[in-house]
Amino acid sequence: MYNILVVDDEKEITDAIEVYLKNQNYNVFKAYDGKQALEIFEKEEIHLIIMDIMMPRLDGTSATIKIREKSTVPIIMLSAKSEDMDKIWGLNIGADDYVTKPFNPMELLARINSNLRRYTSYSNTVTQKENVIRIDGIELNDESKEVLVDGESVKLTPLEYKILYLLMSHSNRVFSIEEIYEMVWKEPAYNPDTVTVHIRRIREKIEINPKEPKYLKVVWGIGYKFEK
């Protein structure tokens, strides 16, 4: 059974989400501010977090940043704000997905299920013949799910890893944003703009100068490629 941490300062919302999740046989932990969320996260094995942004004591963005220092657990941001910049900010600090209030319970459940599938498939490594891709100074080991940049290990989220694996395993091939979304998210391209945010975060981790990338190149009007 998966453990899901629901963080929101509005008790009615956490209670409602708890009902939806328990009906799907998820185990639910509830917190009402970021500090309480961090305390629960330290004590319990949490598989996914639903994190509100505006909360007392410690807001959701600050809590997400602290969690990302230690874990790649999926985080779905939950907020009444719907502006694009708020979504981009949430993704930039490490969130995997974003749902705005008021939300459709079925959409939230679908996003939870989708993120858990990606996370568990990333976390459960299968013992097999070593599968390593090396391109110049970047080395990706698909058995250990490790990425090295000039010999130094870099920490990627599951989504970042899958995007990088897709592009490196088809080096020099140009993928549209929609193609990347559908192949990594395993669903129709409902929100392909999130790909751009994740690409930016990958560049920050593997490129010497993210503004002038050596590896992850944009092909204007078409998409992205990993240049060999």
d(CA 139, CA 148): 5
Strand partners, 148: 139, 153
Residue pair 75/51 in contact (Cβ under 8 Å)? The answer is yes
Given a cut of 80, whether residue 226 has pLDDT beyond it is yes
pLDDT tens, position by position, 105-151: 998 999 898 888 877 766 544 333 358 899 988 999 988 889 999 88
Residue 87: predicted pLDDT: 66
State how far the Cα of 73 lies from the Cα of 123, in Å rounded to an integer. 10
C-beta separation of 29 from 46 below 8 A = yes
Q: What is the pLDDT of residues 180-225, one digit of tens each?
A: 999 998 888 877 888 999 999 999 999 999 999 999 999 988 899 9
Structural domains of the chain, with CATH: 3-123 (3.40.50.2300), 132-226 (1.10.10.10)
Distance CA 185, CA 191 (A): 10
Residue labelled with tokens 């250990």: 144
CA–CA gap between residue 167 and residue 157 (Å, rounded): 16
Is residue 31 within 8 A of residue 7, CB to CB? The reply is: yes
The whole-number pLDDT of residue 85 equals 67
Q: What is the rounded average pLDDT for all residues in the chain?
A: 88
Residue 168 has pLDDT above 50, yes or no: yes
Helix H or strand E encompassing 146: strand 146-149
The more confidently predicted of residues 45 and 123 is: 45
The kind and range of the H/E element at 105 are helix 105-123
pLDDT over threshold 90, residue 17? yes
Assign 44 a pLDDT band (cuts: 50, 70, 90).
very high
Q: What is the rounded distance in angstroms from the CA atom of residue 44 to the CA atom of residue 83?
A: 33
pLDDT digits (tens, 9 = 90+) for 72-89: 899 999 877 665 566 677
